[in-house]
Structure 1
């Protein structure tokens, strides 16, 4: 199909195809977690002794004996087969942002050749996928292929239904034959254990005697775009990279603010209902959905869950999101910046820490100045972000997220902490010794009798902050929309563990010196604010003044590109952080730098090669075709477009030649030099090609232009 025929066909198909009709959903209490083998299902199918043992493992991490594992495996198999499953899979999350799985059948044959089903405790506990083809960052030799998956009983198994049948899916960790972590789950579990150990010390010093295991919690708000798959099929860039490498802005974009919280298109509502029904069956607590700022952009937000389960559910949510979108004729775009000139997508990771005995330790209550546990844990976060802000930037460093950060709809790459007016005053008053009872937010009275008065929050919400306190949790707003939440959670848990260990030592010294508990806490907070208070900022994070102030006056690092951020993973202070807490060994951490750097290189190289291909084989021919139609009439036109088209086409191809040369460069002194070259030279040349191509889009007739345009993709549903 040549010229603009694919565009016109896409528009015709979209406007002449009836959407899938909405189906009446079953009651929530009937479908909720119906495809999950959780504690409720285990209690129904296991003996009291077996259930007690597995429940203890799930809730406390206690070791499970092999006999109980056999009983659990048999019950799990029977339940799965009753749901139509013939296969099982240990699902795991390698060091990429992907999900990995291998399906094995329950079927075995006996000596008579008859088929029987089998699923033993050993099969449940351990799998052995070939690990050689997964990125490992030099953790194994080329000829070393063995890797193990191991069941994580703290995250429930579930049934994954697809068009090809049902599969029992078992959340697992992934390790090498020599024992190194090859995945994201192992360090997440370790980071939570390190945080719990340090928190136990602090709470014990605070006089607490009944302290349940502490867990970090996560609620990740997922943003995404939906475009019709007919448009996507005519855009090689969307299919291969998830973003438009070319595209002039639509005359109408998001400037009217009419999409945000607007009426959800009917076709999208039907998709959302189907999508969320699937989530409910999988036990994923989806709470809110709405239109986002950009046309064609939406968000779904779940309830909080323990970080380990939330991370598993977030990966599963993205899979279900993409699969369900395809069923409804959409392509779901999780790229952080699929369209230039309108908002990109992020994943706001809401994070807190607590347990069943002390509750949420990041909840200040009504009198935060008197909530000593809260002051210590919040102070630990302040110290952690100041010490390890560059690490937080590194764990969100991807080629795609670089397009979004600091782009006036996303936080800057400078890590600061927003506390809100009330809490910032509390911490600063402790620093200066002037603490008094803070004011609350007061009451909102609109002067309308029919509108009930309600309590106003003590601080506003700062959307320009990358790390903001939002009432009873911190919201890490800079995470990319297609990223796993595990990396950020690992970093936050680990920096908190480090700070709590430091606080425990300082607090013990104060108490041993005779200080009363409140005075000891205030002394520790005072030291934190004197050493780390520069990271607290409540102003406009988008402003040029803040960027200057952050660097020159506060000493905060600005790492705008992944090329600058990723090497932080090799810094001595980060190596020591992960090593001292037992979360990642130096070898495991080094492997992550290598894998993430390789992912960055590959992403930029694919984009650069595709820019060359699309410019040469699609856009340039469209310009030449238009020029050929102008040939006979050009001399008669007063303001002929021929010169403008010729100049733009020549400029584009000149930049294509330079980009082609840059892509061919292979010799670099270091990985860091390679990253820097791609971020600077190659990305800069891609923008040059795009600028000329986008200019051509405004000159070449609509009837000739080969690529679906922004106005079509964003507004035709």
Structure 2
């Protein structure tokens, strides 16, 4: 079918604007001297440090480019531990000494290093609040970009953020450290065992982002959405997602107009958004990009969340990124498709067509299986955010039990290796002690030979692993840090074990022995069935796998002796930095649940109970108005419906009021608990159950009250009206 003129214009426009607001290689080639361009290109490709001698040239080129794009200010854009992006804007303006001339300046030092006030960012006790100094350092491997607003533009420079004493106060610093570590361990493994030499191995991410879009007027009428990002009360509507008519359905014109504007914005920023569609729940949607290097993908996803929220408002909508904004319908996740790729583009999780490629694939797969089994507690902790408590294991998302899904074909091969079946012999000798390292009878695996098991938190999907347990509101950096770290440690362990066995046995035998032992010891983590059923919970318990349902339970393991040693030995996080992250996550959890509890208490007190009283009065007055007539007529039927309804109202309001009083008392008691760990457990085990009780009575009242008296927009309006 021929392309229309309009389609051709759109295609040309997309080609011309893609990456146009990013100071990437194209912009650098046009603004930098050739020798400077070659050096910065090498820095971006390998992650090496930037030569200070070319910093001024890069800064000047970046400034001139940004000014032409309309930028008057620049900011060191960084990711503190609160899970959000942070920025401090400075203008390019300067005054020449002794003159009134206005200059526009931006030096190499200003590019590489900044000094924002760090006093109000969470630090987990690393420093006192009066120690305000913090530093930002440019991440040259993640391109600077332009962010546009109605009245101007700002040059955003992705940076790392650390305290004045040198500890990492952000997500980017340990992410870059973990990327370097997993690269080094991968390179060492490839070189020593397979004679494959590369310059770099990069973790890659493809991040599927789910979210809700609702009408802004409904949002502004719901204090719970404004304060906490989710509805704390709300009865189930007559229709939810039962008809399964929203998933992959035709997109509403208002919605697609909003998402299209998001796409154009992200394409300009060099983020290759490829997919958009309706998700399962009404009002829920998903967009997904092509794979990128982990640190760039992390930055792009943070920008995407900001653009989604800002663009939605332009269309009189609100974007909800909470993992579970509405009860009774599916919540939102952020599926992290993770893999390892060499600098030449080889995907190390791609099943091979040659024996050597298959052996390489089996080794990396075995390392991941071992890593996930030993460090399942860390992977669970990495997704331990308040919103995920409502989502994980709720028949829409993976359970809190961490397991690996491989698919039937790959699982059969793994079982054959464990059981030492000759038809699936792992290695083949080729004379001069070079290894063929194939799996005899191992057929070439097509990329889509495995199902995308929705019930698995960590599923192999052809040439990558999909970490489905990550929450939709999360910064992806921390789960990626954990994954990079544990896989690096496992690669090192397997390589050293093979080298140790090679002192007594042939290379082939040592490889075969170590891989078989690793798979045998850690096969318990593999599960290919339905993760939602009670049968899996029972089986997981028998296997010794943890089922950490609450955030406090999951976070308790973060700084265990095993984990402190893991991060300290790898140099990715010191014990101080790891403890800091645990305390910040506890703090975020406590503040989030406290805000929810206070918001719920206030809504019930000031909105719901007064509305119930008005309705009670109306029913009582209606009943009183006919009672004289009923009593005067011996054969007239009693108004049992009104009596029953009034009785239900009074009893339910009493229950609601009592539960709300308990909630208020629990909130007051929580103020006396000063240890964050103890407080988190108290909120989880005491306050949240009371909140659930309050909601139960409120939702019942919503379902029986006159609609005109209910003071809040209902689910049937919020989810379906566009």
TM (norm. structure 2) is: 0.92
The aligned residue for residue 636 of structure 2 is: none
Whether 1:383 and 2:370 are equivalent positions in the alignment is yes
The aligned residue for residue 295 of structure 2 is: 308
Whether 1:427 and 2:429 are equivalent positions in the alignment is no
Whether 1:542 and 2:553 are equivalent positions in the alignment is no
1:642-681 pair list within 5 angstroms: 642-665=646-669, 666-668=671-673, 670-681=675-686
Q: Cα distance, 1:60 vs. partner?
A: 1.3
Structure 1 CA distance for aligned equivalents of residues 11 and 711 of structure 2: 41
Q: Is the 8 A contact 1:422 1:438 kept in 2?
A: no
Q: Is the 8 A contact 2:202 2:343 kept in 1?
A: no
Q: Cα distance, 1:631 vs. partner?
A: 2.1
CA RMSD of aligned residues (A): 1.7
Q: Cα distance, 1:210 vs. partner?
A: 2.3
Q: Cα distance, 1:175 vs. partner?
A: 0.5
Q: Is the 8 A contact 1:368 1:375 kept in 2?
A: no
For the residue of structure 2 that corresponds to 1:503, the secondary structure is: helix
Equivalent of 1:76, from 62, 65, 70? 62
Equivalent of 2:610, from 615, 618, 621? 621
1:487-566 pair list within 5 angstroms: 487-517=478-508, 519-551=509-541, 553-566=542-555
The aligned residue for residue 639 of structure 1 is: 641
Q: Is the 8 A contact 1:224 1:481 kept in 2?
A: yes
Change (3 A) 1:233 1:210: same
Change (3 A) 1:439 1:524: closer
For the residue of structure 2 that corresponds to 1:568, the secondary structure is: coil
1:154-193 pair list within 5 angstroms: 154-193=141-180
Q: Cα distance, 1:513 vs. partner?
A: 2.4
Q: What are the ranges of 5 or more consecutive residues in structure 2 without an aligned counterpart?
A: 1-8, 425-439, 628-638
State which drifts further: 607-616 or 637-646. 637-646
Q: Is the 8 A contact 1:215 1:355 kept in 2?
A: yes
Structure 2 CA distance for aligned equivalents of residues 586 and 684 of structure 1: 34
Whether 1:404 and 2:408 are equivalent positions in the alignment is no
Q: Is the 8 A contact 1:372 1:521 kept in 2?
A: no
Change (3 A) 1:164 1:401: farther
1:71-470 pair list within 5 angstroms: 71-110=57-96, 111-357=98-344, 359-366=346-353, 371-434=358-421, 435-436=423-424, 437=440, 457-470=448-461
For the residue of structure 2 that corresponds to 1:475, the secondary structure is: strand
Whether 1:49 and 2:35 are equivalent positions in the alignment is yes
Structure 1 CA distance for aligned equivalents of residues 397 and 151 of structure 2: 39
Change (3 A) 1:323 1:25: farther
Structure 2 CA distance for aligned equivalents of residues 414 and 280 of structure 1: 37
The aligned residue for residue 581 of structure 1 is: 570
Structure 2 CA distance for aligned equivalents of residues 323 and 210 of structure 1: 45
Q: Cα distance, 1:207 vs. partner?
A: 3.3
Q: Is the 8 A contact 1:391 1:568 kept in 2?
A: yes
Q: Is the 8 A contact 2:659 2:690 kept in 1?
A: yes
For the residue of structure 2 that corresponds to 1:175, the secondary structure is: strand
Q: Cα distance, 1:24 vs. partner?
A: 6.8
Q: Is the 8 A contact 2:350 2:447 kept in 1?
A: no
Structure 1 CA distance for aligned equivalents of residues 194 and 262 of structure 2: 47
Q: Is the 8 A contact 2:663 2:690 kept in 1?
A: yes
CA deviations over 1:52-106 (Å, ceiling 9, x no partner): 1111111112222222000000010000000110000000000111000000000
Change (3 A) 1:108 1:25: farther
State which drifts further: 63-72 or 661-670. 661-670
The aligned residue for residue 582 of structure 2 is: 593
Structure 1 CA distance for aligned equivalents of residues 443 and 188 of structure 2: 32
Q: Is the 8 A contact 1:369 1:426 kept in 2?
A: no
Q: Cα distance, 1:658 vs. partner?
A: 0.5
Q: Cα distance, 1:523 vs. partner?
A: 1.5
CA deviations over 1:573-615 (Å, ceiling 9, x no partner): 1111111111000000000011000000000000000000000
TM (norm. structure 1) is: 0.93
For the residue of structure 1 that corresponds to 2:119, the secondary structure is: coil
For the residue of structure 2 that corresponds to 1:166, the secondary structure is: strand
1:29-68 pair list within 5 angstroms: 29-68=15-54
Structure 2 CA distance for aligned equivalents of residues 456 and 489 of structure 1: 23
Q: Cα distance, 1:441 vs. partner?
A: 9.9
CA deviations over 1:374-430 (Å, ceiling 9, x no partner): 111111100000000011010110111111001000100000000111111111111
Structure 1 CA distance for aligned equivalents of residues 111 and 465 of structure 2: 36
For the residue of structure 2 that corresponds to 1:391, the secondary structure is: helix
Structure 1 CA distance for aligned equivalents of residues 603 and 106 of structure 2: 51
CA deviations over 1:96-129 (Å, ceiling 9, x no partner): 1100000000001112122110000010011100
State which drifts further: 263-272 or 364-373. 364-373
Structure 2 CA distance for aligned equivalents of residues 456 and 360 of structure 1: 12
Q: Is the 8 A contact 1:441 1:456 kept in 2?
A: no
Q: Cα distance, 1:668 vs. partner?
A: 3.9
Structure 2 CA distance for aligned equivalents of residues 357 and 67 of structure 1: 29
For the residue of structure 2 that corresponds to 1:569, the secondary structure is: coil
Structure 2 CA distance for aligned equivalents of residues 478 and 531 of structure 1: 24
Structure 2 CA distance for aligned equivalents of residues 421 and 70 of structure 1: 56
Structure 1 CA distance for aligned equivalents of residues 712 and 353 of structure 2: 56
State which drifts further: 602-611 or 264-273. 264-273
The aligned residue for residue 601 of structure 2 is: 612
Q: Is the 8 A contact 1:107 1:116 kept in 2?
A: yes
Q: Cα distance, 1:672 vs. partner?
A: 2.7
Higher relative contact order (CA closer than 8 Å, sequence separation 6+): 1
Structure 1 CA distance for aligned equivalents of residues 371 and 63 of structure 2: 44
- How many residue pairs were aligned? 681
CA deviations over 1:420-445 (Å, ceiling 9, x no partner): 11111111111111153557699xxx
Structure 2 CA distance for aligned equivalents of residues 26 and 298 of structure 1: 27
Q: Is the 8 A contact 2:611 2:710 kept in 1?
A: yes
Q: Is the 8 A contact 1:622 1:700 kept in 2?
A: no
Structure with max Cα Rg: 2
Change (3 A) 1:696 1:26: farther
Change (3 A) 1:663 1:369: farther
State which drifts further: 165-174 or 634-643. 634-643
Q: Cα distance, 1:563 vs. partner?
A: 1.1
